[in-house]
Amino acid sequence: MIKLRPWNYIKINECHEPLISIPNSIFRLTPHPYMSLGAPYLTGADPWVLRRSVVKRLIRAQQYLSKINPQLQLALFDAWRPISVQKFMFNYTIQQTCKSKGIDINDLSVNESINDVIEEVGLFWAKPSTDPLTPPPHSTGAAIDLTLADMTSKPLDLGGEIDFIGPESSPDFYKKDHFKISGSKHQVFQDRRSLLFSVMEQAGFVQHPHEWWHFSYGDQLWSWLTNKGDAIYGAALEVSNDITLLEPSLVT
């Protein structure tokens, strides 16, 4: 069973800010990774949307990066994610992690091992909850997964793949003493991660404690890390081709 995270207890006071398209001036990694896997987006759904204030801060982060290093740009991996997609990817990741560990997910005799995998995956993938009190971050339009790329659109190596389940995904993994060799590839990885964190933090984002690529503004994690009071974004659910905002304030 996946335990609630500390930030899941933060109250949400939905501000009703709309989801808007991320401008094409922000580079996107294509094809979209989850669409390519067959994740159940509704026909015509656009995963490249975020809350309006989040988009403004993302643009600001790109501007900060351009001033520091004009040879680099942000590279978007994923943005808004319907809960149906969250569920698909959550289950897909459990299946793939079991497979990589040689665990037969259909073998009831290894339930303990499967539960360990589910707990491990739960450190990275939020439970696909439809409870308005505990929305998955990406379903709110507040969260973005991204990395760095050069101006030829080639992603940089930050020492770990996005969505990798393992300790290397921790933002500070390469800060460990045995990696501190000046000029080493590990130092390069940490410098790049630190640069990404710096420009996103300047723009008002917070970073997920287990994922170097995940940043958000206005959701429960943001509220918990910044002590700014209530979260301002709840889940945005897709209905046909429309986006409907849930009302967590009505049930808190």
With 0-12 CB in 10 A as exposed, 13-18 as middle and 19+ as buried, what is 43?
exposed
136 to 84, 127, 132, 235: CA distances (angstroms): 11, 7, 10, 7
Task: Tell me the two tokens of residue 197.
Answer: 């964190």
Work out the burial of residue 102: count CB atoms within 10 Å of its CB; fewer than 13 is exposed, 13-18 middle, 19 or more buried: exposed
List C-alpha distances in Å: 47 to 55, 179, 199, 218: 13, 37, 23, 18
Of 24, 128, 134, the closest CA to residue 81 belongs to 128
Does the annotation mark 247 as catalytic? no
Catalytic one of 14, 17, 211, 238: 211
Q: What would the DSSP string read from start to end of 155-205?
A: BPP-SS-TT--SGGGSTTGGGSGGG--TTSHHHHHHHHHHHHHHHHHHTT-
Q: What is the DSSP letter of 137?
A: G
Amino acid sitting at position 86: Q
Return the active site residues.
Answer: 211
